[in-house]
A and B are shown apart, each in its own frame.
Chain A
Amino acid sequence: MSKRKTDKVTGVETTGHNWDGIEELNNPLPRWWLWTLYLTIIWAIGYTIAYPAWPMISGATSGVMGWSTRANVAADIAAHENTNADLVAQLVASDMPALPEDPDLNRYAIARGGAVFRANCSQCHGSGAAGAKGYPNLLDDDWLWGGDVEQIMTTVRHGIRNTIDDDALYSEMPAFEDILEPAEIDAVVEHVVSLSSTEFDAALAEQGAVVYADNCSSCHGDAGLGMRDLGAPNLADAIWLYGGDRDTLRITVEKARFGVMPPWGPRLKEADIRAVSAYVHSLGGGE
């Protein structure tokens, strides 16, 4: 054992470590620091026993406290449902057209409906409800089957042209490629273009008007304003579900369109159907 050395300037013992003449002073850490370390180790062991921690082959140890984030979330949701139980009951019993007269209930319905929409409807209609080609834009003021809140609710509940719900809104446009001659199709397309545009071939459209009157007007109306009972679109406005150019129109006439929406009645709660209808109605196009 060599003798301990002491640094002259500070009076502190050195560790004996020496690098090119620079010596390391021995300034030991406080002992409570060490205890703190031991305490954290003991705490950590207790923690892994109390809470889920150790990964096993399937899942992890569950801990003796029975703590689970999934159960917590379920409890939180239940608690929310519970606090809102009043509002939910009111919503289910409410007269939907009169909903905006009760601002609190209306705010709740729209907030809840927004969540329902993002979870269930946004896949087709887009998260902003602007739709896409073939999927109606719910923000505008054009409605195939009607845009008052009752009608929206019916559409949500039963869906469109599906085979699941007997009350689904249903209609079918015939494919005219087997019924009309190609020239007649060209003419009727030109007529449809003329309904909403100022640039068209007047002579051809004149011919098309005859074809239209014979084949199309029973559903789309003489003036092309559509018919909501049949979900027949208005051909005279600026909105096209599949596109308003001649090529797209020709395909529509030849092959027809058959957009399907599932019924949400079996999948959503009554309160959710009402809420999402209120939400869609509030988006800017509600009638």
Chain B
Amino acid sequence: MTSQTNQPLYAARTPIFPRRVNGFFRRFKWWIMAVTLGIYYLTPWLRWDRGVSLPDQAVLIDLANRRFYFLWIEIWPHEFYFVAGLLIMAGLGLFLFTSALGRVWCGYTCPQTVWTDLFLLVERWIEGDRNARLRLHKATWDVRKWRLRLTKWAVWLMIAVATGGAWVFYFTDAPTLLRDLLSFDSHPAAYITIAILTATTFIFGGFLREQVCIYMCPWPRIQAAMMDPDTITVAYRDWRGEPRGKGNVKNRKAAEAQKAVAEAQAAGAGVARYAGTPYPGKEAQPATPPKLDIANEHGDCIDCMACVNVCPMGIDIRNGQQMECITCALCIDACDDVMARIGKPRGLIDYLALSDEPAERAGAAPKPLWRHILRPRTILYTVMWLLVGVGLLYALFIRSDIELTVSPVRNPTFVVLSDGDVRNIYDVRLRNKAGEERVFRLSLSSDALMRIALEGSDNLNVAVPADTTVLQRVYVTARAGDPAASADSTALRLWVEDVTAQIRASKATTFNGRGAQ
């Protein structure tokens, strides 16, 4: 029998009020936010001259005409493998970064993180920092609370509309669409898309935040498969911090630390330990020996909760690796700040590899960074990523401006003419990817003697307008009595040639005779 307890099946969300934090990683994240948002909002406005018949947009997904334009590259539907290849590269890149550096994608560039950060910025700007927000949360709904909440929601909504609005610009000429949107004669699909993306941005960025990362996103559960003890991830050096406690009186500690550093430096040993990894703009602080064993049983953590209060996921990193942690490193900044104030070296919480723990515990130097990052698994991901990339580049450069596909008509496989000649029909698609009309001349080459003729035309020239595909029926005839007329199949190659530009392309196919009868 199990005990009968009254437990809830569903839990209300515990609101999180992340505190403001300053530091290297916070600044780095602001920069990344500026760059990624800039890319997102500005890309559709980049212009690119594509001639008269096409929109002058540098990046355009033209669903109606099934074309994808990226700067000078133009992808046709049959070249969709480029998009598939890029997606594979994105996937492999994510594997590579996760296995080397943990969830850097989540912590820095994931849209959910970027927009949540932006929304938090607004929230802090309007309602104040953590304590003020906590108080407001508990306050009754008076005029002030309503005013602050409504202001916040209004700003969020503006950001959300701008977010949804920017998305649709990728699919059609941006300036035209903007004008149509403002004068309310755009296609309903544009408004519906904007409405949906506005709603999701508003709800996900404003209200669901960490819930998206924990419950909706599959990545936290998948990424564990890419990480191992060598992965660099955010962790708490518990062997240095524990047992935590407020017993670390700031001044005494600082004095002792300085003394110990002087001693250690004089002895010239154990200097590297606990130094933490210096980052640009973040000075390497004087190293201290592991334990200042002077009538004090406490570790370096003073249990100030700064790391917990800044965490946007609402977790305590000192409890060890957790699925919720997005390695945003804000707790590193927060704790480094505390360490500086109590005169300890930075890096109690740090980007580190868990496999270094025994070495650090024993006072030995950790493995150098490159040894963590360069390992079979990351090398394999890199090689795979490069293979796909090089393959795509190669495919991009061998693409020709003219292309043809040949589909032999197999219903029927051949036609006998009244004079006994045997004729095959081919549906030839001629693709002109250039910006102007071109005239293609068709011809055939084969060991057998055969004639070529075009349906509805006296000559062998086909005019193909700019950026279009033309379907042309082609007749190939073998004389009665010729081996090709009676053989089961004969090899044949159809050629197209741009009459003026001297570009040729060809496709091999076969000619069906009457067979053995």
Contact = CB atoms under 8 A, between A and B. Distances in A.
Nearest to A130: B412
Contacts, number: 95
A28 B415 contact: no
Interface stretch (A10-18, A171-179, A201-209): A10-18
B440 to A, nearest CB: 16
A237 interface: yes
Contact of B11 (A29, A106, A139): A29
A2 B2 CA distance: 10
Contacts of B425: 139, 284
B78 interface: no
Interface residues of B, number: 31
A82 B416 CA distance: 41
Contact of A16 (B2, B415, B420): B2
Interface stretch (A30-38, A44-52, A185-193): A30-38
Given A100-B456, A106-B456, A31 B415 contact: no
B10 A127 contact: no
Contacts of A234: 418
Nearest to B453: A284
Given A106-B456, A128-B412, A238 B417 contact: yes
B415 A282 contact: no
Q: Is the interface of A mostly helix, strand, loop or mixed?
A: loop
B140 interface: no
A284 B11 contact: no
A18 B2 contact: yes
A30 B13 contact: yes
B161 to A, nearest CB: 23
A29 to B, nearest CB: 5
Q: Is the interface of B mostly helix, strand, loop or mixed?
A: loop
Interface in B399-427: 409, 411-412, 415-420, 423, 425
B13 A31 contact: yes
A41 to B, nearest CB: 15
B423 A28 contact: no
A100 B425 CA distance: 19
Interface string B279-303: 0000000000000000000000000
B7 interface: yes
Contacts of A31: 10-13
Contacts of A130: 411-412, 415
A140 interface: yes
A4 interface: yes
B215 interface: yes
Interface in B1-57: 2-13
Contacts of A34: 9-10
B3 A141 contact: no
Nearest to B2: A16
A141 B418 contact: yes
A102 to B, nearest CB: 12
A16 B5 CA distance: 7
A64 to B, nearest CB: 21
Given A140-B417, A238-B418, A284-B473, A128 B411 contact: yes
B176 interface: no
Nearest to A35: B10
B338 interface: no
A139 B415 contact: yes
A154 to B, nearest CB: 21
B476 to A, nearest CB: 11
Nearest to B211: A30
A4 B5 contact: yes
Given A2-B3, A4-B5, A32 B415 contact: no
A130 B211 CA distance: 64
Interface string A78-117: 0000000000000000000000100000100000000000
Interface of B: 2-13, 208, 211, 215, 409, 411-412, 415-420, 423, 425, 455-456, 473, 475, 480
Given A33-B215, A140-B416, A284-B425, 11 more contacts: A1-B5, A26-B7, A28-B9, A29-B11, A30-B10, A34-B9, A126-B412, A128-B409, A140-B415, A141-B417, A237-B418
Interface of A: 1-2, 4-5, 13, 15-18, 26, 28-34, 100, 106, 126-128, 130, 137, 139-142, 234, 237-239, 282, 284
5 contacts: A26-B7, A126-B411, A238-B418, A238-B420, A284-B415
